[in-house]
Amino acid sequence: MSASPPKLLDRVREAIRLRHYSRRTEQAYVAWIRRFIVFHGKRHPRELGEPEVTAFLSGLAARGVSASTQNQALSALLFMYEVVCGERLGWMQDIVRAQRPVRLPVVLSRDEVSSLLSRLHGPVWLMASLMYGAGLRLLECAELRVKDLNFDRGELTVRDGKGGKDRMTMLPTALKQPLVDHLTRVKAQHDADLAAGRGNVALPGALRAKYPNARREWAWQWVFPATRFYMDDATGERRRHHLHESVLQRAVKDAARAAGITRPATCHSLRHSFATHLLESGYDIRTIQELLGHRDVSTTMIYTHVLNQGGRGVRSPLDQLGPGAGRR
């Protein structure tokens, strides 16, 4: 008796893993494909076409989802049809993707950054300081491993960043000793986990099969491990995940509020502030582009607009009249 063919969503998962997409991409694509199928009465996608795809995306727009969310849903459907179903659907290439609005980033002053960081403590202070001091994205910071820190050279390596790229950035001198002290505590925790028959960590890609012992080695452990264990469904191992990014997001939001910052400051604002403050200090935009990991320098150029004060740096003619001009 022949085995039944794998279900559509299982094929989607397999195709994503073969291409080494991130776990988050897999979860997002599967969720959107499932929503698309349910939206059309659980009919198989092979029975659906342009009108159904357009209706689904239009329904998302009607519910007020953002352009990036709508585009992610479209990308998931494109992947399913072209990669999994093997159908080259020319009409899907003609679907207009929602345009993301161009927003200026929220950039904090040096005093605001200092005030915000002073209200954080422990690992979240270290993480927020690294985001500002090295220009890290939130997940890049959370997913740091011990081997990514080079204290001798003052370097920090970001592995598999946005777009699947590695890059090098600086390790702030002010954070070297705090990081050493932090890692001493993390190492003691890891040794205790090993003694208890645990101490395994998730490895990227096929490294688990290539280096079966690496999952227990100190170099591969998270710099910022979670306080609790979780059970991996595939292996049955009890592991520590890295500290969940929502913990840092919540801490930064609370610190910004306590610091009296009225603008919507987030973790990413620290990265924006890193870039802007480097520009203010006279560093070359190409250097900043490499540190941030931007593919195109035009993305980095947005920070030149933030530098200008009062409408591209133009001084208002009213200010040139002198104090109290025309006042009655």
* Known active-site residue 42: no
Tokens 């050493």 found at: 180
* Known active-site residue 162: yes
Neighbours of 235 (CB within 10 A): 12
**What pLDDT score was predicted for residue 101?**
67
- In the chain, CATH 1.10.443.10 sits at 102-312
* Known active-site residue 44: no
Write out the CATH class of domain 8-93: mainly alpha
Q: Give the active site residue among 239, 242, 271, 272.
A: 271
Distance CA 306, CA 298 (A): 14
Sheet holding 167-170, edge to edge: 149-150, 155-158, 167-170
Sign of CA dihedral 248, 254, 258, 264: positive
**What pLDDT score was predicted for residue 1?**
43
- In the chain, CATH 1.10.150.130 sits at 8-93
Neighbours of 232 (CB within 10 A): 13
**What pLDDT score was predicted for residue 93?**
58
* Known active-site residue 303: yes
Q: Give the active site residue among 29, 81, 132, 303.
A: 303
Cβ atoms of residues 41 and 33 within 8 Å: no
Residues of the chain with pLDDT under 50: 1-2, 312
**What pLDDT score was predicted for residue 313?**
52
Q: Give the active site residue among 81, 132, 137, 277.
A: 137
Cβ neighbours for 142, distance < 8 A, ≥ 6 positions apart: 127, 224, 242, 243, 244, 245, 248
Q: Give the active site residue among 215, 240, 272, 294.
A: 294
Cβ atoms of residues 183 and 148 within 8 Å: no
* Known active-site residue 182: no
* One-character DSSP codes across 15-34: HHHHTT--HHHHHHHHHHHH
Q: Give the active site residue among 162, 198, 238, 241.
A: 162
Distance CA 127, CA 243 (A): 10
CATH of domain 102-312: 1.10.443.10
Distance CA 196, CA 254 (A): 36
What phi and psi values does residue 198 have, to the nearest 5 degrees?
-115, -135
Distance CA 235, CA 231 (A): 8
* Known active-site residue 81: no
**What pLDDT score was predicted for residue 98?**
65
**What pLDDT score was predicted for residue 12?**
92
